[in-house]
Amino acid sequence: KNQVEQSPQSLIILEGKNCTLQCNYTVSPFSNLRWYKQDTGRGPVSLTIMTFSENTKSNGRYTATLDADTKQSSLHITASQLSDSASYICVVRPRSNYQLIWGAGTKLIIKP
């Protein structure tokens, strides 16, 4: 069964610190993997997208990595800001169809 597991479920860090969120998936073969940011009370917004052949993709202070061999992805946030407080969701698109496989997300809280 295609699954996407994210860890940790929640994380609290101090402003200015770095953090890394994890995503493990069993979807194979897959077309691409996205990370979304979802602010409280809002819909998800795409941060990065990577195909199976890409290893890393950056978007400002956000850097996503992908290891297709171990079926793992990570989202690294550098020099965290209060506005980074949100849920971060990993989403994988199987190559066989267009239905997305969503993770449950990591809730990140940045404290001043």
Q: Which residues bind other proteins (CB under 8 A)?
A: 4, 9, 31-32, 34, 41-46, 49, 51, 89, 93, 95, 97-105
Nearer to other proteins by Cβ, of 78 and 100: the residue is 100
Residue (of 26, 44, 31) closest to 93 by Cα position: 31
Nearer to other proteins, 2 or 78 (CB): 2
| Shortest distance, position 24 Cβ to other proteins, whole Å | 14
Six token digits for residue 51: 């195909």
CB of 52 to other proteins, least distance (A): 11
Q: How many helices (H) and strands (E) does the chain have?
A: 0, 11
Q: How far apart are CA 16 and CA 8, in angstroms?
A: 19
